[in-house]
């Protein structure tokens, strides 16, 4: 058999499993966590020593389309993570915590999250949960709280954030935001969608947030 025929007879190589590119993305989050200061120390200690994968079923949501073209709204230090998330979006498991009875259908059309590490993530951990939240333009995530302590890092899109009794504050991408356990917080986007990385620790990492009235 000629060399040319041998090349034609080869089967195309299979694409790498999700765990390989997602592990690289998760490691970027871990590196960024080093910049969050003293509030991140407990999260870093509980970060999994090894990334043990579990099977993931790809699921999409309407808000995932907002990832396209989001890179220009990123901070220089978060742009690589935004672009990597957009590239992997079709292979990720996108979910929602709420129903239309909680916040209405329009909110559901502009909201979703994908857990990368945790009880439901692509990598197993019972100590932390880590992933990304996506909000579409002109969307308010109403006041809520949860037992888990939380760090957020807005990756792309300027949005208003409110914590406890504070007023709304415009936050640019690249700045860590800390929510201690049971701290009421809310987010609101304007014309720009919001992509934010989150890390949870302590408490029930799969619990539905408590909606504040």
pLDDT for the residue numbered 16: 53
Q: Give the pLDDT band (50/70/90) at residue 3.
A: very low
Q: Per-residue pLDDT for 6 more than 90?
A: no
Q: What is the pTM of this model?
A: 0.90
Q: Tell me the H-state helices in the chain.
A: 3-9, 19-33, 41-46, 79-88, 100-103, 105-109
Q: Per-residue pLDDT for 13 more than 70?
A: no
**Which of 168, 39, 62 has the alpha carbon at shortest distance from 110?**
62
Mean pLDDT over residues 17-41, rounded? 92
Q: Which of 4-13, 143-152, 170-179, 203-212 bottoms out in mean pLDDT, i.e. has the lowest?
A: 4-13
pLDDT for the residue numbered 203: 85
Question: Other C-beta atoms within 10 Å of 166: how many?
Answer: 10
Q: Give the pLDDT band (50/70/90) at residue 4.
A: very low
DSSP annotation of 38 reads: G
pLDDT averaged over every residue in the chain: 91
Which domains occur in the chain, in start order? 17-211 (2.60.120.10)
Percent pLDDT > 70 in the chain is 92
For 90-139, strand residue ranges (E) read 111-118, 123-124, 128-135
């Amino acid at each position: 058999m000629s060399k040319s025929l041998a090349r034609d007879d080869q089967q195309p190589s299979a694409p790498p499993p999700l765990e390989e590119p997602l592990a690289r993305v998760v490691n970027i989050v871990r590196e960024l966590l080093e910049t969050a200061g003293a509030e991140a120390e407990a999260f870093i200690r509980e970060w999994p020593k090894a990334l043990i994968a579990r099977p993931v079923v790809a699921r999409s949501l309407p808000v995932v389309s907002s990832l396209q073209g989001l890179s220009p709204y990123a901070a220089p230090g978060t742009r690589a993570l935004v672009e990597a998330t957009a590239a992997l979006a079709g292979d990720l498991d996108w979910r929602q915590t709420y129903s239309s009875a909680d916040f209405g259908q329009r909110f559901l059309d502009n909201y979703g999250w994908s857990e990368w590490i945790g009880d439901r993530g692509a990598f197993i951990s019972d100590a932390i949960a880590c992933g990304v939240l996506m909000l579409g333009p002109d969307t308010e995530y109403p006041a809520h709280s949860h037992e888990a302590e939380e760090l957020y890092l807005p990756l792309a899109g300027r949005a208003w954030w409110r914590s406890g009794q504070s007023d709304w504050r415009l936050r640019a991408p690249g700045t860590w935001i800390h929510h201690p356990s049971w701290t009421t917080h809310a987010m609101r986007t304007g014309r720009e969608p919001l992509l934010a990385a989150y890390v949870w620790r302590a408490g029930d990492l799969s619990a539905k947030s408590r909606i504040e009235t």
